[in-house]
Amino acid sequence: MERDVKGALADLPDIEGKRVGIVVAEFYPALAEWLLDGARRAVSACGIAERGVTIARVAGCFELPVAAMRMFGRDELDAVIALGVIVRGETPHFEYIASECARGLMNLQLSTGAPVGFGVLTVDTIAQAEERADPARRDKGFEAAAAALRVLSISSDPESRPLGFRR
C-alpha cells in the first residue's frame, strides 16, 4: 500500500509553540524506532520545535498509559503520542495487554481533555508490524501523531468556528 505523503502533509495543522510528549514501548526495539521516527516527522511537520518534544521510553505497551499520565503531570504537555507493538502469541496475553493499553490511553485522554495519539500496533505477526511501522510503507507512527495533532488544533474557544452539522 502506497502512502500519499503530499496529502498527509497538506492536512497537518500549524501548531507551533505547542508541547508534545512521545512515549514509546521498546519491547521490539527496531519497530519502536520506526514508529518514533514517524511521530517525530509529523510533529516537526506541524511546526513544533524539537525543544517542544519530550520523549520517554518504557519496556512494553502495558506501561504506556501510566507513562503518558506521568508525562502530562510532569511536563505541561498539550498532547501525548503513545507508540508500541503487541504481537499475538499462543496465549490470551495479547488480548489482555492490547485491551488494557487501549482502555488506559482512552481513559487518560478523556480525563485530561488532551489528545493521546494511539500508535499501538496490534498484529498477528512481526511481518505485519514491520509493514505498518516502516516509514517507507504504512508509517503508523506518523499517522498516530498526525491524528493527535489534528485534535490538538481544534480550538476549545467557544467563539471559534463550530464543529458538526447542527450549528
Q: Whose grid coordinates read 488506559?
A: 104
Give which of 146, 158, 138 is closest to 20, Cα–Cα.
146
Q: Whose grid coordinates read 498532547?
A: 79
| DSSP annotation string for 105-157 | HHHHHHHH-S-EEEEEEEESSHHHHHHHH-TTTT-HHHHHHHHHHHHHTS---
Angle at 81 between CA 77 and CA 84, to 5 degrees: 145
167 is catalytic: no
Catalytic position from the list 93, 106, 124, 125? 93
Catalytic positions: 93
